[in-house]
Amino acid sequence: KHGKKSLGYQIIYRAVKKIQQKTETNPLSVLRQAIRGVTPDIAVKARRVGGSTHQVPIEIGSTQGKALAIRWLLGASRKRPGRNMAFKLSSELVDAAKGSGDA
């Protein structure tokens, strides 16, 4: 966001290195597992029925689900206490791959 693509790449690469140091496994498989575990299948959408608004569950596609999962992982990483974003992101990804974490 806001023209900081190179900073985003740096954060991702540092987070991947930290994941490799922590888990001593393939960091890309940890990343895939974290995203797959957080990806939702359904979402709720507001629908007006009569005079009131109801939350109606709808099925969402894989692309939109992955986008939501990544957004949730980044949001949970930002809320974590810690030194820098790469450290917080790597911790959140490892936790999400294990099935715990905020995202």
pLDDT digits (tens, 9 = 90+) for 71-88: 999 999 999 998 899 999
Residue type, 19: I
pLDDT for 69 beyond 70: yes
The per-residue pLDDT for 55 is 93
**Residue 63: both structure tokens together:** 């692309």
Q: Which of 13, 16, 10, 12 is nearest to 29 (CA)?
A: 16
What tens digit of pLDDT does each residue of 33-51 get? Answer: 999 999 999 999 999 988 8
pLDDT for 1 beyond 70: no
Gyration radius of the chain over CA positions: 16
Separation of alpha carbons 94 and 90, rounded Å: 6
Three-state secondary structure call for residue 46 = strand
Pick 22-98's CATH classification: 3.30.70.260, 1.20.140.10, 1.10.455.10, 1.10.357.10. Answer: 1.10.455.10
